[in-house]
Amino acid sequence: MNSPTTFTPVGQDELDWLGTDPVPTRPYYDPEWFELEREAVFRRSWQQIGHVCELPENGSFIRRELEVLGASLLITRGKDGEVRAFHNVCTHRGTILVDEEAGKRSTFSCPYHMWTFGLDGGLISAPDFEAFHVTKAECALPQVACEVVGGLIFVHFGKPESSLREWLGPYANKLEMMPVARATTFSEYVYDINANWKLTYDNFQENYHLRFIHPSAAGPVTSPDNPFAYPTAYDFHGPHRSQRIWTKPDMDPPTGVQAMAFQRGAVCAMSDGILGTETAKDYLGLFPNFFLFGSPMQHFSHTVYPIAADKSRGVIRLYWIGEDETPSERFAREYFMATARDVHTEDRAVIERGHKGLASGALEYLHFQTQESLCRHLFNMVSERVEAYRAEKEGVPA
């Protein structure tokens, strides 16, 4: 019997522009380098921090902590329906304004001296305000640039050089086409990891490890002509990158409870109109720390939040359209969430081992092969920004 396809991996010639040199290890564990990344990468990039479904009504709010910039953010949906982000800091004397993680309010009052702010960040009232030497207009909450594409909320702590949509380029349209743009709820799990954010992130942008670290999940998706389940294509736009996932054409059908979950889940995905979409095999990596996989059945995002040079936090969300409409849908969603969690569990353990080894200083360089080019691209993008920032600080050209 003939093999249904012959897989051809992406050739090195397509990726030569990224370089082939060994990559220095120090940026993956050095605290000094991490300090530079805070400013060069995270203060100067759009960062994904939430989804509009978390702000379902005018007056809805969420609080988000971004440890990499030491920031607490208050994100609101105003009376006008607009999503805005502010530093969650009372403008009187800097007290953190809101403690709750999420909720619905029309005003926010600081517990310290009862300064009260509106959903648009304006100072509405403050006791004995006449005794101050400033106007209310000057006391609005400090606003942070905030834009939405595909339902995903992004913030920028600096002065953005371009709009979010321009920055994302063609990936903005892809996001708009994906189920996330229509999502109304999600499943979420979170992990803390003793590893650098880039090392953590890199794990999720190469398939080389799949058959070794995920023997149960990867077995059915590999074949003799693609034993590592390498993707069919890579794509780059500015600091962002993506891969197109390969699927085994003659994959054995699932059995047992897994088969039931897929069968019931497929019915729901079909009724949501998200089966067979053009973006179903796209796996986007948006700079600096966000992934989104287009799969309609397991449509997950993964954000790797840096905390310190050797600490990160991963937040994984499976986005869904509509609440659980039927018990079958509830079953399928819980199963898919648990399946993804199993796979990410296996990743987490091996990433920590990687960090420990690199942080020992035993190696000066690490090595990326052709099919780890997305990792190399992230290194190049971070490195360019850190070097430019360092040169800027030192007043010399990069």
Binding residues for other proteins, rule: CB under 8 A, are 185-193, 215-217, 255-258, 260-261, 264, 320, 323-324, 326-328, 330-331, 333-335, 337-339, 341-342, 344-346, 348-349
State the burial class of residue 21 (Cβ atoms within 10 Å of its Cβ: 0-12, 13-18, 19+): exposed
Token pair belonging to 285: 């990596």
Phi, psi of 334 (to 5 degrees): -65, -40
User: What phi and psi values does residue 93 have, to the nearest 5 degrees?
Assistant: -135, 20
Using the minimum distance from each CB to other proteins, give the nearer residue, 49 or 141.
49
Smaller CB distance to other proteins: residue 33 or 290? 290
Shortest CA distance to 102 belongs to which of 56, 54, 47, 152? 54
Q: How far is the CB of 29 from other proteins (least distance, A)?
A: 20
Q: Are 142 and 74 in contact (CB under 8 A)?
A: no
CB of 179 to other proteins, least distance (A): 14
Cβ-contact 65, 78 below 8 angstroms: no
Nearest CB to other proteins, comparing residues 312 and 373: 312
- Nearer to other proteins by Cβ, of 44 and 330: the residue is 330
If the CB atoms of residues 35 and 334 are measured against other proteins, the closer one turns out to be: 334
Residue 103 phi, psi (nearest 5): 170, -160
CB of 339 to other proteins, least distance (A): 6
Residue spans of beta strands (DSSP E) within the chain: 23-24, 47-51, 60-66, 71-77, 83-87, 102-104, 107-109, 116-118, 123-125, 143-149, 152-156, 185-193, 233-237, 240-244, 282-286, 290-293, 300-308, 311-320, 365-366
**Cβ 195 to other proteins, closest distance in Å?**
12
Nearest distance in Å: CB 116, other proteins: 30
Amino acid (1-letter code) at residue 108: F
- Least distance (Å) between residue 196 CB and other proteins: 17
Whole-number Cα distances in Å, 184 to 119, 187, 322, 355? 22, 11, 5, 36
Of 129 and 191, the one with the shorter C-beta distance to other proteins is: 191
223 within 8 A of 217, measured Cβ to Cβ: no
Q: How far is the CB of 325 from other proteins (least distance, A)?
A: 8
Q: Which is nearer to other proteins, 222 or 373 (CB)?
A: 222
